[in-house]
Structure 1
Amino acid sequence: MSSRPRHPARTILLGVLSAFGPMSMDMYLPALPEVASQLHTTSAAGQLTITSCIFGLAAGQIIVGPLSDRWGRKLPLLAGVGLFTLTSFLIPFTTSIWPLIILRLFQGIGGSAGQVLSRAVARDLFSGPQLGRFLGILMSINGIFPIIAPLLGGAVLSFTDWRGVFVILGAIGLILFLWTWWGLPETLPADRRTATGFAAFTQMSELFKDRPFMGYMLSQGFVYGALYVYISGSAFAFETVFHFSPQVFSIIYAINGAGMIVATQFAARGLNDQNGRKILGGSILTAAIASTLLLFGISQWPSGLLLAGGLVIIISLVGAVNTTATTLALGNEAQHAGAASALLGLGMNAIGGLMSPVVGLFGTRSSLPMVALIMVCEWIAFLLLVGLTRKTIR
């Protein structure tokens, strides 16, 4: 099967659907200090609005992914996008932190359908190196959103408050719902579906016993833990500690998003059946070493520019890790791509959700806790990858 998409519009749609995570968080990040101030709450409570969305993204995938192996991809996808749209339009009416946290949870559950099912659809259509290249295309489209989302969020904040960000997210959700309804066919034929939804959940339990799969899932999960530490802590680090404006922070965030696109493309183009594990291991090790050097440097010479420069390397490599780990993990799971994709999403979002609020517990007066947690996540990811896949990595 050719790796070149025959329907560019559908490829773009899948790429955008896979970006519900960046869309749900990155547009909102420049407003995070403002949310804490306007709702009269702490920075840690404000960061819980990120954490609840991440947990929603994780929990939703565990439900949607396996059920899509039974009912097909399109119906669960429409339900999820519809929920995302509804909650996005409700959030601007909140006046205190806890209703916002709860609605963000359901917003994440809705958005999870786009994340998990874009990967499952890709696996329905492709395999092997072709799958890797197609995922690279999707993740490059996905990677555009960390560039434009914070810039758009910063622009919105120049003429309105944080509530306007969610009005825009609701409008985007509505467009995606209609686009999916009219433009995306069902990719899982009836004869390839599981007999019941429970069969897919059983398959998930079997995947937990698969050491290489768990190695890819957990290493990717902890790399995403580092990413979500950065997502939760970077606005406070740059705006509160180093006194950068929300607009300058948005530009820095956009540069990191561009780096992820570049790393994604390099990984996808070099990916084949022999070197995928080497690319994955090398990317995680490089990020672990870079984060260690950044922690030492920032502790000796506190500087916003030094922090920004070090994070470019670390965050860019998330793109390479995402492409290779997803391709390797889904490679042997054609029949239960929904369940396998759900576990990958669980690893990324649950670990990210656990790490995200930790940085807030250390306060917002220093960037060191954020960098230290990123370093810890990267080294754990590398050790898990080597430990669980050591018989296959050379």
Structure 2
Amino acid sequence: MLITKAPAQPGHRARLALILGSLSAFGALTIDMYLPAMPGMAHELHTSALLVQLTLTVFVVGLAVGQVIVGPLSDTWGRRRPLLAGLTLYVAGSLWCALAPTVGWLLGGRILQSLGAAAGTVLARAVVRDLFEGTAMTRFFSSLMVVNGVAPIVAPVIGGQLLAFATWRAVFLVLAGIGATLLLAVVFSLPESLPTDRRAPADPRATLRTFRTLGADQHYLRHVVAAALMFATVFAYISGSSFVLQDAYGLSAQQFSVVFGLNGLGIVVFGQVSAMLVGRVADERRLLRISLSVTALGSAGVLACAVARLPLPLLLVCLFLAVSMLGIVLANATSLALAGHGSAAGAASSLQGLLQFLVGSLAAAAMSLSGHVTAVAMGATMVVCSAAALTVLTKPWRYWVYDRCDR
């Protein structure tokens, strides 16, 4: 069965948004659910916090590399077959992690898990580009932010509550169950979205030419880099907050999960605000500039709170401001980046994912250079990444791009 156009019925659109939103949130779900367990994992596996944090970095790198492989393949084979293969691999990797006897085995399981999750992450964006265009695409991407925001809300809460009566291994068993559920959902409810006549030939040289074209498209790169740096800002918070808030500020795993969930709620709320505003009050570019400015302001507040040792409530407010803007930034930046690449949506989506997760992993690694994660290191990393994201949208680059286009 093939989807030939965007579903018009609200029920069908809601089901499509739920499935694609869940797939696009796969990476965040797999990361966030085990964050409350990281200190306990280091203790049980008799290893350091840095090695446990390495399981996060390995997952992110695998997620990035996997997208570059799966995206172009889906332009040739269609979206459905690579997606089914990836979900199967994800379930296997999750079970491997649950049974890992050492941190080395855990790292191996996380690699498998990440390669499987990559298919869901990259192909969800590609399917949206197959079915929608223009402002309709931006609004549908904003609707996916509901699920993307719910994942950070639910995942750490589930992880924190599981730890109240089970070990961290139960977290990976639950992830295996979620992967199996999504596998069945794709089998029975997600037809192929890429018609045969729109598929690219199976030619590695053509794939390389596509990537060269994307690399030369300054409009595409500008929005992809902005999204990647925004993701790095939030990823610095994701990878460091469990240690900062639990170890430095004394929150329990359950309290941390609540804080993490509230920030996820912010992503949902502002993602829907973006859907209501785009095309009515402001265009995608203006919303992108405003949201990145708010992120930079919130990140500066986080650093100031860390340096001056200001009260925890003020720190949490600044974190909320910085993190919640992700719902606006990703929806608008992704729509602007993919708008001109309908014939190579898989490759364009994969390059976006590669940059997001590689920049995110570099941010996490830089934050740990001192040997342990601190509030100051987390805040400084967030400031650098958010300021850089805003910089790529400033006048010199914009005018340079427009000048080239005019010539």
How does 1:79-228 map onto structure 2 within 5 Å?
A: 79-198=85-204, 199-228=206-235
CA contact (8 A) 2:291 2:329 kept: yes
State the distance in 2 between where 1:311 and 1:177 align: 34
2:390 is the counterpart of 1:382: yes
Q: Which residue of 261, 264, 274 corresponds with 1:257?
A: 264
Give how far 1:366 is off: 3.3
Q: Relative to structure 1, is the Cα distance of residues 88 and 233 closer, same or farther in structure 2, using a 3 angstrom cutoff?
A: same
- Aligned residue number for residue 279 of structure 1: 287
Q: Relative to structure 1, is the Cα distance of residues 365 and 353 closer, same or farther in structure 2, using a 3 angstrom cutoff?
A: closer
Structure 2 residue matching 1:208: 3-state secondary structure: helix
State the distance in 1 between where 2:295 and 2:349 align: 24
Q: Relative to structure 1, is the Cα distance of residues 257 and 4 closer, same or farther in structure 2, using a 3 angstrom cutoff?
A: farther
**Aligned AA (1:280):** L
Q: Deviations over 1:5-41 (max 9, x none)?
A: 5513232111111111111111000001111111122
State the distance in 2 between where 1:56 and 1:73 align: 20
**Aligned AA (2:245):** F
Question: 363-372 vs 313-322, which deviates more?
Answer: 363-372
CA contact (8 A) 2:127 2:193 kept: yes
Gaps of 5+ in 1: none
**Aligned AA (1:261):** V
Structure 1 residue matching 2:393: 3-state secondary structure: helix
- Aligned residue number for residue 66 of structure 2: 60
Q: Deviations over 1:283-341 (max 9, x none)?
A: 11221122123312331134332221110000001111101100100111111111111
RMSD (Å), alpha carbons: 1.8
Count residues with an aligned counterpart: 393
CA contact (8 A) 2:92 2:112 kept: no
Gaps of 5+ in 2: 1-5, 403-407
CA contact (8 A) 2:232 2:359 kept: yes
Give how far 1:4 is off: 6.6
Structure 2 residue matching 1:149: 3-state secondary structure: helix
Question: 34-43 vs 68-77, which deviates more?
Answer: 34-43
2:304 is the counterpart of 1:296: yes
Q: Relative to structure 1, is the Cα distance of residues 29 and 109 closer, same or farther in structure 2, using a 3 angstrom cutoff?
A: same
Give how far 1:258 is off: 0.3
**Aligned AA (1:155):** Q
- Aligned residue number for residue 332 of structure 1: 340
CA contact (8 A) 1:62 1:343 kept: yes
State the distance in 2 between where 1:193 and 1:68 align: 8
CA contact (8 A) 2:367 2:373 kept: no
**Aligned AA (1:101):** L
- Aligned residue number for residue 350 of structure 1: 358
State the distance in 1 between where 2:175 and 2:196 align: 33
- Aligned residue number for residue 268 of structure 1: 275
**Aligned AA (1:59):** V
State the distance in 2 between where 1:302 and 1:204 align: 47
State the distance in 2 between where 1:108 and 1:303 align: 37
**Aligned AA (1:347):** L
The percent of aligned pairs where both chains have the same amino acid is 37
Structure 2 residue matching 1:24: 3-state secondary structure: helix
- Aligned residue number for residue 22 of structure 2: 16
**Aligned AA (1:21):** G
Q: Relative to structure 1, is the Cα distance of residues 322 and 390 closer, same or farther in structure 2, using a 3 angstrom cutoff?
A: farther
State the distance in 1 between where 2:399 and 2:238 align: 31
CA contact (8 A) 1:52 1:102 kept: no
CA contact (8 A) 1:201 1:339 kept: no
CA contact (8 A) 1:221 1:349 kept: yes
Give how far 1:390 is off: 4.2
State the distance in 2 between where 1:328 and 1:67 align: 23
**Aligned AA (1:205):** R
Q: Relative to structure 1, is the Cα distance of residues 80 and 368 closer, same or farther in structure 2, using a 3 angstrom cutoff?
A: same
2:338 is the counterpart of 1:314: no
Q: Relative to structure 1, is the Cα distance of residues 175 and 105 closer, same or farther in structure 2, using a 3 angstrom cutoff?
A: same
Per the normalisation by structure 1, the TM-score is 0.96
Q: Deviations over 1:53-72 (max 9, x none)?
A: 11111011001011100000
2:246 is the counterpart of 1:239: yes
Q: Deviations over 1:177-235 (max 9, x none)?
A: 11111111000000000112522342122111111111111111111111111111000
**Aligned AA (1:185):** P
- Aligned residue number for residue 405 of structure 2: none
State the distance in 1 between where 2:7 and 2:399 align: 32
Question: 53-62 vs 377-386, which deviates more?
Answer: 377-386
State the distance in 1 between where 2:87 and 2:192 align: 16
Give how far 1:270 is off: 1.6
State the distance in 2 between where 1:390 and 1:292 align: 28
Question: 291-300 vs 153-162, which deviates more?
Answer: 291-300
CA contact (8 A) 1:61 1:346 kept: yes
Give how far 1:90 is off: 1.2
Give how far 1:109 is off: 1.0
CA contact (8 A) 1:69 1:338 kept: yes
